[in-house]
């Protein structure tokens, strides 16, 4: 049975710092939340940005200081990149995230600032649909300690800025799969299937499924094609290169790895709850944001 959002009385705000043309809409959102009786907490950087825009409604709003700040839900105001950053801050807490799109396509954001009154009504009354989205976990001794080792969209193994390809020797559940000779390999969640995975020629996947897509980036052979595997699979990837290093990217946060090193990828022990707009499903998103079957 689909999850639904209980009534919200406390909410955290996260947002992009590049939306000066949205001042009036942001002011209206803050005023509507206050009028609806919802206590608002704002991430420190976003609060400072709102104050710099002269938005009066931000006065007196306390800072969101982390998981110890008790909130029922979070608003991510921006594009998909902002949503992914919000997910990194909230991952593992179980706090559902609602995306308000002020960016471009916004696959992860199901509302706009023009929907403020509808959204606040849904938050106060409860009942909005919520989808639990699968997250990937990456393990390796070489991962920087400060990095959040999870990805809502994808894990990308990529060559450095060089013309030389890399070789990614991949195992699934202890069984050898293939040597990927390519510019890289993308391991995607269903949520991320419309992101880098799609650009690499990978399949679109309904976001509530529990699976992973493995898609090569510019493979140096015609016999490598995207592959969908179980969400319970345990993937090992050993990467070699002529260059001394390669890159690993988790939802766009990348770091260098020395060649001849291995990473493991599996399903995380938690998901990210995403608040949806009633009446919008995956097919609706495909038709309206990817212009699915448009002639």
Q: Helix or strand or coil: residue 33?
A: helix
Bridge pairing between strands 184-188 and 154-159 = antiparallel
Known catalytic membership, residue 72 = no
CA angle 197, 147, 158 (to 5 degrees): 35
Q: At what angle do helices 23-35 and 116-125 cross, to 10 degrees?
A: 30
Buried b (16+ CB within 10 A) or exposed e, 246-258: bbbbbbeeeeebe
Q: Which residue has the tokens 């909230």?
A: 90
d(CA 234, CA 111): 35
Residue of 72, 80, 183, 251 marked active site? 80
Cα 12 from Cα 123, distance rounded (Å) = 12
The set of catalytic residues is 80
């Amino acid at each position: 049975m689909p999850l639904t959002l209980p009534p919200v009385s406390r909410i955290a705000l996260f947002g992009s710092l590049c939306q000066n043309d949205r001042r009036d809409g942001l002011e209206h959102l803050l005023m509507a939340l206050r009028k609806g009786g919802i206590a608002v907490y704002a991430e420190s950087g976003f609060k400072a940005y709102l104050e710099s825009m002269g938005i009066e409604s931000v006065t007196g709003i306390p800072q969101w200081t982390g998981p110890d700040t008790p909130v029922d839900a979070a608003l991510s105001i921006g594009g998909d990149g902002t949503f992914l950053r919000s997910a990194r801050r909230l991952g593992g807490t179980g706090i559902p995230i609602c995306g308000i799109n002020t960016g471009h396509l916004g696959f992860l954001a199901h509302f706009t600032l023009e929907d403020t009154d509808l959204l606040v009504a849904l938050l106060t009354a409860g009942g909005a649909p919520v989808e639990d989205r699968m997250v990937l976990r990456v393990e390796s001794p070489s991962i920087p300690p400060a990095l959040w080792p999870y990805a809502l969209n994808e894990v990308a193994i990529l060559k450095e800025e060089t013309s030389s390809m890399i070789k990614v020797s991949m195992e699934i559940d202890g069984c050898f799969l293939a040597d990927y000779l390519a510019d890289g390999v993308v391991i995607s969640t269903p949520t991320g299937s419309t992101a880098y995975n799609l650009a690499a020629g990978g399949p679109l996947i309904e976001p509530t499924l529990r699976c992973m897509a493995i898609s090569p980036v510019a493979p140096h052979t015609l016999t490598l094609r995207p592959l969908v595997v179980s969400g319970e699979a345990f993937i090992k990837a050993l990467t070699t290169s002529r260059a001394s290093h390669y890159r690993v990217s988790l939802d766009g946060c990348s770091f260098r790895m020395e060649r001849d090193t291995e990473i493991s990828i599996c399903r995380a022990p938690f998901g990210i709850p995403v608040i949806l707009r009633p009446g919008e499903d995956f097919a609706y998103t495909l038709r309206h944001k990817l212009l699915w079957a448009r002639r």
